[in-house]
Structure 1
């Protein structure tokens, strides 16, 4: 009876080995960049103190005064976004597109003085976020991260199978044998942290997948549906809210990415609609009025206001809140100040709610420092798992070879395992395609080597 299990053990071992060699470098990078981004709330005011921290005063300048000061400092610049101070000791921030660069410009809200600028794409957090999301190489990077996350899920499934006690004592299963030395110790560290961390790791990988360009987009298309009635009375543009999000900067919540952007001034006597697409924005509503709308509607502090870029564009007030129940996305007509859409947590579907919760847990923001500590531990587990796996491989690797675990010739067709692999391959198409490629390469190259050696 035990024979099929032993044989399948070899197959699982082999898949785990291949997946691990591919995934480990990505996991190390994702864990390190993840830790940097995780502590953004603490790191930013430390690293950029002179830009971000101000002394609380009595009277704040109006948003339009601050905007005028920024425009004076950057006469050629295009102001894209305004972030009112999130608290009394924080500066106001403007995002300015100037000569091909994207700048974060910080202003003292009490004196109106421009405190300085930071490159929007080259600061610590933006780099960490862009590396984490797409390795800073755009679509190719996004696909690679998606592939690594998908294979990470295969790693956990095959790893749990390999870890399964099969009658051994708890030592080396539930806790590492610290008295052991060399490979046994590394193996225990690898297997035990992998087991204890597996549920959290799966949560991290699946919640992270929702950002990816291929799987994440399909997932969003499937689940991110809002009742049409919410947009019925509002003329829609062909732009989607997702255009406001970039690799290094998140503006609107995930649940809002698939929603259409409404159109400003639809009832005003403007030139034909097509002309308006290309005409510049000429808001008749000022920035302070938009900020007042946000305050009046009790939008959580920390929100941003994205300015319209065309004649039919809108002001977008958005907060991607630490507690997703405070998420808000509002679109405001630039001519009348009318709120064209106001979408909150209660409007999200159950799947969108679960996804937003997963995303905020993933970012370590839900329960303050406690959530950060848990995610930090997960990142450290990922680092330990990846490094210990690589060390084990290095210790047993023959010179001049990869050290692929040998395939037994008496392998039965193990239905459950093949089933699990097929399900994973269908659920994550990039993984499925790469599995087929791997299987072909494995059959042709590796077995030929075995034949030659024999």
Structure 2
């Protein structure tokens, strides 16, 4: 049961007060307070900066402002998603995650017991010393942490700009009939999301943004599709729509920016079963689309659940503690792997540990790598690039002795 309450000042009055405090700003989003103790929030663009402005919903006092892109949470999101360098950063993150998947899968193959006892496989042999103990620490923590790390990597890949988009386009589909009577623009709902701010759920990112005014030509707005927004309904009316439709508190209302734009009510809930995305005609107040959990397909539901587990939100503190333990296990596995390499490195120098020359071709390993390279194209492209570079370096090194003798 949702606990709805009405602040002393309605949304329109709050909007007016913020506009008075920031007369040159363009207001893009309103976030109503989620409970009686919380402030309301407006997102606005002022003098080239995006700001979060907080207002007391009872007195109307502006409580403060925050840089929307340079606060700690926004910076962490941007670093995690695209290293704060845009598309290039997104591709690098995707590449790292893809190779992380390769390492986990190949590591699991190497770990596979093949008739060994459980000691050294499911738990370390602490009675042993030296390289054996370090090998056990690496393998055991890698196994227990690796399975969950694989889940974290794959769930994170669904947000990437290249693989994630292909995944969404292939698997995240809604019945076409849902949009049969909805005038749509060329924009997708993903345009409402950014590296620093999440507005609509993942399941909605590749859905079309509806168009306002298609059924309101009699209001005189139909001829101004390329002009600025001039809503015929108020922010308070949109707020009332969200309340009437029982949207989970914590939602945002994104304001239209053009004459064709819509109000978007969206909540990216900690529990995806409370997700909601509503597009509202800015002239008539008609709800053009109202998409909830029950409208998601099975893949979208599984993805949304995995994303919330990935972010540590679905089960609160236990979820976050579990992720912390996974991170610690992977850290221990990484450190132990580094120690193993150090102990086996060529004597007195850095390099690859010696390998027996009578080993057969690792056919299963090659198959695993090729399959993952196909499944994750950036991994495949980087694999080819490294192979070509390796061939080139070998050719250069092979020519050097001949040149020295000539």
Which deviations, in whole Å up to 9, do the C-alpha atoms of 1:11-47 show, x marking residues without a partner?
Answer: xxxxxxxxxxxxxxxxxxxxxxxxxxxxxxxxxxxxx
The answer to whether the 8 A contact 2:216-2:284 is kept is no
Tell whether the 8 Å contact from 1:396 to 1:403 is kept in structure 2 after alignment: no
Match of 1:19 in 2: none
Cα distance in 2 between the residues matched to 1:448 and 1:184: 39
CA contact (8 A) 1:326 1:345 kept: yes
Alignment of 1:259 onto 2:207? yes
**TM-score, scaled to structure 2:** 0.90
Instruction: Give the equivalent residue in structure 2 for 1:423.
Output: 371
Gaps of 5+ in 1: 1-56
Alpha-carbon distance in 2 for matches of 1:265, 1:146 = 39
1:198-227 superposed Cα distances (whole Å, 9 cap, x missing partner) = 221111111000000110010011112111
Structure 2 gaps, min length 5: 402-406
The answer as to 2:110 corresponding to 1:156 is no
* Aligned partner of 2:280 among 332, 340, 347: 332
* Aligned residue among 222, 225, 236 for 1:276: 225
User: SS of the residue aligned with 2:209?
Assistant: strand
1:191 match: 139
1 or 2, which has the higher helix percentage?
1
* CA deviation vs aligned residue, 1:400-454 (integer Å, no higher than 9, x gap): 865224455445344332222211111001111112222333445369879999x
Equivalent position of 1:352 in the other structure? 300
Query: Quick check: 2:263–2:280 contact (8 Å CA) kept in 1?
Result: yes
Indicate whether 1:232 and 2:143 are aligned. Answer: no
Is 1:201 paired with 2:149?
yes
Q: Does 1:243 align with 2:191?
A: yes
**Aligned mates of 1:452, 1:175 — CA distance in 2:** 49
Q: How many residues align?
A: 395
Structure 2 residue aligned with 1:116: 64
Q: Give per-residue Cα distances to partners, 1:212-250, cap 9 Å, x unaligned.
A: 011001001111211111111111111110000001110
RMSD (Å), alpha carbons: 2.5
Alignment correspondent of 2:247: 299
Determine if contact 2:214/2:222 at 8 Å carries over to the other structure. no
TM score, norm. by length of structure 1? 0.81
Structure 1 distance, partners of 2:83, 2:296, is 30
8 A contact 1:265–1:312 mirrored in 2: yes
Measure how far apart 1:190 and its partner are.
2.2
* Corresponding residue of 1:322: 270
CA change 1:361–1:65 in 2 (3 A) is same
The SS at the match of 2:66 is strand
Q: 1:155-206 deviations in whole A, cap 9, x for unaligned?
A: 1112122223345443332222445556544433222111111221111111
Q: Note if 1:91 corresponds to 2:15.
A: no
Q: Structure 1 residues 248, 395: CA separation in 2 closer, same or farther (over 3 Å shift)?
A: farther
Offset at residue 272 of structure 1 (A) = 5.9
Say which SS state the counterpart of residue 168 (structure 2) adopts. Answer: helix
Aligned match for 2:313, one of 365, 372, 383: 365
1:431–1:149 distance in 2 versus 1, CA, 3 Å? same
- 1:434-449 correspondence runs (5 A): 434-445=382-393
